[in-house]
Structure 1
Amino acid sequence: MSTWMVTGGAGYIGSHVVEAFRAQGIGVVVVDDLSSGHEAFVPADVPFVRTDVQDREAVAAALDEHRVQGVVHLAGFKYAGVSVTRPLHTYTQNVTGTVALLQAMADAGTTDIVFSSSAAVYGTPTVDLVTETTPTLPESPYGESKLVGEWLLRDQARALEGTSTPLRHTSLRYFNVVGSGHDHLYDTSPHNLFPLVLDALVQGRTPTVFGTDYPTPDGTCVRDYVHVADLATSHVAAARALEGGHDLAPVYNLGSGDGVSVRQIMSAVASVTGTPFTPQEAPRRPGDPARIVASGELAARDLDWQMRHTLEQMVESAWRARQAAEAATP
């Protein structure tokens, strides 16, 4: 049985990827510095290495010790808006960290990597439906750092062509990841829409909409919203394809093909939670494009990508996990 390393495996998305590997009987080891992850999200029987991916020696040692076949690289600083005011931190975490990881993989002879990229690489697209060939024009240091990560994989793979340890890779461009596949795993980001809205309701506050003057039908941002468990399933599909020697595209959009506005999200939350409210309105946040909606056709063909959850089911699962976390808090 092969083993895969999940960097950032104690985080919201990473912990779901870990569970998806385990569900298919694939061994997994987690690397996370817990800067935003939670050790409680790592199953007790999963090896956990608490270190930053920039620690090349520690990561190489873990790759070697656990005889890791490949890496799902999710560790990084993921806040587009904050990256505008913290560009050096963003590049250090996302670019320097990826360089160190690739060096550690080369040291250990680890050949496969699935990279967590982002829709932020597209900036503000001029097309209604983004595809993998849509020009990349990132508008934040975060988006730029993710695009550089893709380039690093491409260039390292070229450099290792014809060697005994070639690099097989693909990058998955995420859109808005929401919901929960397990009640004990939930999004704790201080910047993502779902936790911001649900935290406000739990605390008796009125949720806030950031930006109501976008050139969209209702003035709020339009996004792809995809369920985290569906996302995790496609990570494992990508890992298995690479391990099996199958050719994958360099990048895939994990998109829904159908946009949802922030106001629509607010309405769904009010309906599911049974808490009617009129959201407060605040100015736009920096780095937030008006609309990004992507086709997931290529990923559906190669990576078992499907939208298996409705918007209401996404909200219901997120709310259930949030309530479980609240109940577990002393």
Structure 2
Amino acid sequence: MAVLVTGGAGYIGSHAVAALLERGEEIVIVDNLQQGHRDAVLGGKLYVGDLRDGEFLDTVFGENSIDAVIHFAANSLVGESMKDPGKYYHNNVYGTLCLLEKMNQYEVKRIVFSSTAATYGEPENVPIHENDRTLPTNTYGETKLAMEKMMKWFDAASGIKYVSLRYFNAAGAHASGKIGEDHNPETHLVPLILQTALGQRSHISVFGDDYPTEDGTCVRDYIHVSDLADAHVLAVDRLRSGGDSAIYNLGNGTGFSVKQVIDIARQVTGREIPAAIEARRAGDPAVLVASSDRARTELGWSPSRNKLEDIIGSAWAWHQANPTGYNKQ
């Protein structure tokens, strides 16, 4: 039986595919290559197409014996989601509806969902717990929450069990050096810092240094992308063993400020990395750190690459070897 990975040519999806390959799983990948890259797919059977295309999904499910799905495919830029909410509802929410309907039709009853801690909005508590209030402050987070709720009702009606994994900032690159982070446009802090170290940007922008934190800059939770991939695989195991639907936060439990991330990147790269303080961005909370106690207890997940120096070091090695990212086809 195969695991279907939607968005498996993307950053986190490709690392999940690599983790599945390492343990000998049969893998089917669906990606429309809007943001994904063929070169990021290290194995498995790749189908290029869109989840909203019913005939395409009939081909995927009809040609393969699939017993579980890991669902990454989604648009994920917060700023864009606020300017074009229709795009996010159509791709993220409607795309997930199409996927769940085909899963039900082909009697595939397990799905692991790549969600986001943006479902919480402004945090009630630090660190954030799974039973905290969900009140997204942007369209992206709202669509992810809608996708989670849709899975809840498909479970109630059709018995499709789900595990939703909520997390913030993935960073780093695979130990093999074959896959890493390449977005266009790039919006994530670590690759933006490393592009500055490579001389591709004049400076890294720091949006606000007057927050109520130790050094005045925002604090965030960073997790190595391979640790995130491992959590998705463990979630598949939970569902295969008869586990019920559940939601888990994934985090290191330790936050790093923007200035800390830049300083550690300077140490790792040996580069100056100029930084410029700019105005705060609207809607940026001071501290976002997730508690992953439940995932550690119930999934047996424990991040093993949690030193920020190691996370940035792996990313730096990949960016040095691939300064312009993957080959653009």
With the length of structure 1 as denominator, give the TM-score of the two structures.
0.93
Aligned length: 322
Aligned equivalent of 1:88: 86
Cα distance, 1:328–1:80 mapped onto 2, change above 3 Å: closer
Q: Is the 8 A contact 2:193 2:273 kept in 1?
A: no
Question: How far off its partner does 1:202 sit?
Answer: 1.1
**Structure 2 vs 1, CA of residues 213 and 83 (structure 1 numbering), >3 Å: closer, same or farther?**
farther
What residue is the counterpart of 1:101 in the other structure? 99
Please state whether the residue corresponding to 1:84 is helix, strand or coil.
Answer: helix
Instruction: Give per-residue Cα distances to partners, 1:290-321, cap 9 Å, x unaligned.
Output: 21111111111122321212110000000001
* Deviations, residues 234-279 of structure 1 (Å, cap 9, x unaligned): 111111111121235x210001111111111000101100012341
**Are 2:113 and 1:115 aligned?**
yes
Partner of 2:126: 128
- CA drift of 1:327 comes to 8.4
Q: Which of 59, 62, 71 is residue 60 of structure 2 equivalent to?
A: 62
Matched, 1:40 2:39: yes
User: Retained in 2: the 8 A contact 1:6–1:71?
Assistant: yes
Aligned counterpart in structure 1 of residue 177 of structure 2, from 183, 207, 214: 183
Give yes or no for the alignment of 1:169 onto 2:162: yes
Paired residues for 1:124-273 under 5 Å: 124-160=122-158, 166-181=159-174, 182-189=176-183, 190-204=186-200, 205-248=202-245, 250-273=246-269
> Could you say if the C-alpha distance between residues 58 and 186 of structure 1 is closer, same or farther in structure 2, counting changes exceeding 3 Å?
same
CA deviation after TM superposition for structure 1 residue 140, in Å: 0.3
Q: Is the 8 A contact 1:225 1:260 kept in 2?
A: yes
Q: Secondary structure at the match of 1:225?
A: strand
Q: 1:254 to 1:64 in 2, by over 3 A?
A: same
Match of residue 318 from structure 1 = 315
SS in 2 for 1:224: strand
Query: How far is 1:56 from its partner?
Result: 2.6
Q: 1:52 to 1:286 in 2, by over 3 A?
A: farther
1:285 aligns with 2:281: yes
Residues 255 and 328 of structure 1: is their aligned pair in 2 closer, same or farther, counting only changes over 3 Å?
Answer: closer
Contact 1:206–1:279 (Cα < 8 Å) also in 2: yes
Q: C-alpha offsets along residues 24-65 of structure 1, whole Å, 9 cap, x if unaligned? A: 11111110000100011112x421110111113312321231
Q: 1:328: Cα distance to partner?
A: 8.2
For 2:19, give the aligned amino acid. Answer: A
CA RMSD, aligned part only?
1.7
The 3-state SS of whatever aligns with 2:115 is: strand
What amino acid does structure 1 have at the position aligned with 2:4? M
Unmatched runs of 5 consecutive residues or more in structure 1: 161-165
Give the TM-score of the pair, scaled to structure 2.
0.93
Partner AA of 2:225 in structure 1: V
Separation (CA, whole Å) in 2 of partners of 1:138 and 1:217? 26
Deviations, residues 140-198 of structure 1 (Å, cap 9, x unaligned): 000101100100000111111xxxxx211110001111001241211113111111111
Unaligned runs of 5+ in 2: none
Which range moves more in the overlay, 206-215 or 183-192?
206-215
Distance 1:129 1:179, change over 3 A: same
* Alpha-carbon spacing, 1:169–1:96, altered in 2? closer, same or farther (3 Å): same
Say which SS state the counterpart of residue 268 (structure 2) adopts.
Answer: helix
Corresponding residue for 2:6? Answer: 7
> What is the CA-CA distance between 1:285 and the residue it aligns to?
3.3
1:163 corresponds in structure 2 to none
Contact 1:116/1:173 (CA < 8 Å) preserved in 2? Answer: yes
